[in-house]
C-alpha cells in the first residue's frame, strides 16, 4: 500500500532549490496589467530579437510553409535538407551539422552528453546564464573565471582553473552581456591546451566580423553553436544548430539528440529563409548602422557610458541606479534588460538594437529619466 505519494514531489521541490531559475523577464501582458497600460503600448527591447527582418517577409514565408507541410508526418526529410542547406550556407560539411530546438536545447544536450554528477563545466563571468543552469540541472559543478577589465579572456586563469574533472569549456563569442568578440587566437590557444570539449556559442557572430567556423576543423574537441533566433529573426520558432567534427556530430545526431527535435514548420521556414540571403544581409547591415548610431547617442547623454558592440545589443552603464532607471523606463512602456554589476562596473543595463523610431523613443526617454531629480 502506498503510504506517502507526496514524498517524491517534496524531494523534487527540495532538490530544485540548488538550481537558479532562468528569468527571461515578465511577459508584456503581465506588465500591462501591473502598469495599467495596453500591451501594444510597450516597446520590448530587452531580448536581443532581430526586429530588422521585415515581418511581412517572415509572414509570407510562414504562409508558404503552412501550405506545403503535412503536419501528420514527422519532420525527417526537412531536417536532413536543413543540415545540407546549413552546410552550404556556412561552408561546413553537412555531416558536421546537428539541428536542435534553439541553441538552448543544444547546450543542454552537450552537457547531458558529456558531464556526469560531480564533474565540472568551466566558463567565463559574466556570460549567458544557460551554461550554469544546464550544468546544475545535471548535478554537476559550474566554475566561472572573470573576464579581464577590458572584457578580454583571462587565458592563464582559465587554464589554471581546469581540472581533470573539467569536461566542457563554454565560451560565448561575441559574449552576452559584454557584447565583445574574443580574439580568435586566444580561442585557438584555449582549444590547443584544453583536453575537454570547448564549445563556442556564436549566437551573435553574424553581427561581427569573424567566426571560429574558420578554425573549428582544426580541433576534434570543438563544437560551434549557432541560432536562428537572432540574425534570422526566428526567435519564436526555436531552432538552432551545432557544428562539430563529422564523427562527433554523427554520435550527437544518432545517440543523444531526440529523433525529431524541431517541427516541420520551423525546419521548412529556415530552409526557405536560408535561400533569401539578400533579405538577411540587408537586415545585418541595418543593425550595424543603427548600432553605431545608438552607441554614439548613448555616449552623448550625461551620466551614460555605452560600450562597443559586435552584437545586436548594447551594454551601457548609468551613473544613477540601474534599478531605478529600469523602473522609470518601464513606466514609460520601455522594457530593457537590467544587468546590474558587470565585473567592476555598477549599474549596467542592456538594450537591443532596434529600428530608428524605437531607438529614438528609447534615447529621449532615457534622457528624461536621467534628468529627473531623485533617480
> Does residue 156 lie within any of the structural domains?
yes
Specify whether 38 is located in the same domain as 65. no
What is the predicted pLDDT for the residue at 41? 73
Three cell numbers written together for 321: 541606479
Q: The domain containing residue 81 runs over which residues?
A: 55-276
DSSP 8-state assignment for residue 45: -
Longest dimension (CA), the chain: 72
Q: pLDDT, tens digit, for every residue of 297-318?
A: 999 999 999 999 999 999 999 9
Here the CATH number for the domain that contains residue 69 is 3.40.640.10
> Which of 8-22, 56-70, 108-122 shows the lowest per-residue confidence on average (mean pLDDT)?
8-22
What is the predicted pLDDT for the residue at 255? 95
Q: pLDDT, tens digit, for every residue of 151-210?
A: 999 999 999 999 999 999 999 999 999 999 999 999 999 999 999 999 999 999 999 999
- Identify the helix (H) or strand (E) that includes residue 109: helix 102-114
Alpha-carbon distance of 361 to 293, in angstroms, equals 14
- SS3 breakdown of the chain: % helix, strand, coil, rounded to 5? 45, 15, 35
b/e map 212-242, b = 16+ CB within 10 Å: bbebbeebebbbbbbbbbbbbbbbebbbbbb
Q: pLDDT, tens digit, for every residue of 205-250?
A: 999 999 999 999 999 999 999 999 999 999 999 999 999 999 999 9
Q: pLDDT, tens digit, for every residue of 39-50?
A: 777 899 999 999
Query: Is the pLDDT score of 375 beyond 60?
Result: no
Per DSSP, the three-state class of 280 is: helix
Specify whether 191 is located in the same domain as 299. no
345-352 β-sheet, strand order: 304-306, 313-318, 345-352, 337-342
Query: Half-sphere exposure of residue 374, counting CA atoms within 13 Å on the CB side?
Result: 1
The residue from 219, 241, 276 where one domain ends is 276
Q: How far apart are the first and last CA of the chain?
A: 62
Average pLDDT over the chain reads: 93
Query: Is the pLDDT score of 374 beyond 70?
Result: no
Q: pLDDT, tens digit, for every residue of 117-152?
A: 889 999 999 999 999 999 999 999 999 999 999 999
Query: Cα 370 to the chain's mean position, in Å?
Result: 29
Q: Looking at the 3D structure of the chain, how many domains does it have?
A: 2
Nearest to 347 by CA among 303, 311, 309: 303
What is the predicted pLDDT for the residue at 25? 67
- pLDDT-based confidence at residue 33 (cuts at 50, 70, 90): confident
> Does residue 344 lie within any of the structural domains?
yes
Here the CATH number for the domain that contains residue 354 is 3.90.1150.10
b/e map 314-338, b = 16+ CB within 10 Å: bbbbbebebeebbebbbebbbbbbb
* DSSP β-bridge partners for residue 163: none
Specify whether 230 is located in the same domain as 90. yes
Specify whether 141 is located in the same domain as 49. no
Specify whether 231 is located in the same domain as 114. yes
What is the predicted pLDDT for the residue at 208? 96
The residue from 242, 276, 310 where one domain ends is 276
Specify whether 272 is located in the same domain as 295. no
> Does residue 3 lie within any of the structural domains?
no
What is the predicted pLDDT for the residue at 106? 97
The residue from 276, 296, 316 where one domain ends is 276
Q: pLDDT, tens digit, for every residue of 8-32?
A: 788 778 777 777 776 666 677 777 6
Amino acid at each position: 500500500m502506498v503510504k506517502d505519494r507526496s514524498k517524491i514531489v517534496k524531494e523534487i521541490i527540495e532538490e530544485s532549490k540548488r538550481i537558479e531559475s532562468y528569468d527571461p523577464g515578465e511577459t508584456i501582458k503581465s506588465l500591462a496589467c501591473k502598469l495599467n497600460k495596453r500591451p501594444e503600448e510597450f516597446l520590448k527591447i530587452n531580448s536581443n530579437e532581430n526586429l530588422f527582418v521585415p515581418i511581412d517577409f517572415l509572414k509570407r514565408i510562414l504562409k508558404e510553409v503552412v501550405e506545403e507541410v503535412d503536419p501528420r508526418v514527422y519532420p525527417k526529410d526537412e531536417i536532413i535538407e536543413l543540415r545540407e542547406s546549413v552546410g552550404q550556407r556556412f561552408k561546413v560539411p553537412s555531416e558536421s551539422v546537428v539541428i536542435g530546438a534553439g541553441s538552448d536545447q543544444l547546450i543542454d544536450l552537450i552537457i547531458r552528453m558529456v558531464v556526469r554528477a560531480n564533474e565540472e563545466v568551466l566558463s567565463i563571468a559574466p556570460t549567458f546564464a544557460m551554461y550554469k543552469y544546464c550544468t546544475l540541472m545535471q548535478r554537476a559543478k559550474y566554475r566561472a573565471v572573470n573576464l579581464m577589465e577590458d572584457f578580454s579572456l583571462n587565458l592563464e586563469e582559465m587554464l589554471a582553473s581546469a581540472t581533470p574533472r573539467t569536461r566542457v569549456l563554454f565560451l560565448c563569442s561575441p559574449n552576452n552581456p559584454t557584447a565583445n568578440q574574443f580574439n580568435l587566437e586566444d580561442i585557438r590557444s584555449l582549444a590547443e591546451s584544453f583536453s575537454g570539449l570547448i564549445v563556442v556559442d556564436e549566437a551573435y557572430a553574424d553581427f561581427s566580423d569573424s567566426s571560429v567556423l574558420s578554425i573549428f576543423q582544426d580541433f576534434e574537441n570543438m563544437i560551434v553553436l549557432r541560432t536562428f533566433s537572432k540574425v534570422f529573426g526566428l526567435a519564436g520558432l526555436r531552432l538552432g544548430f551545432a557544428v562539430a567534427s563529422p564523427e562527433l556530430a554523427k554520435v550527437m545526431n544518432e545517440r543523444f539528440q531526440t529523433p525529431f527535435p524541431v517541427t516541420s514548420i520551423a525546419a521548412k521556414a529556415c530552409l526557405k529563409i536560408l535561400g533569401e540571403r539578400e533579405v538577411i544581409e540587408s537586415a545585418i547591415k541595418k543593425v550595424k548602422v543603427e548600432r553605431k548610431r545608438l552607441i554614439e547617442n548613448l555616449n552623448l547623454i550625461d551620466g551614460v557610458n555605452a560600450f562597443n558592440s559586435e552584437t545586436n545589443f548594447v551594454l551601457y552603464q548609468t551613473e544613477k541606479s540601474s534599478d531605478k532607471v529600469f523602473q522609470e523606463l518601464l513606466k514609460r512602456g520601455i522594457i530593457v534588460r537590467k544587468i546590474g554589476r558587470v565585473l567592476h562596473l555598477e549599474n549596467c543595463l542592456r538594450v537591443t538594437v532596434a529600428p530608428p523610431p524605437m531607438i529614438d523613443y528609447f534615447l529621449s526617454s532615457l534622457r528624461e529619466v536621467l534628468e529627473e531629480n531623485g533617480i
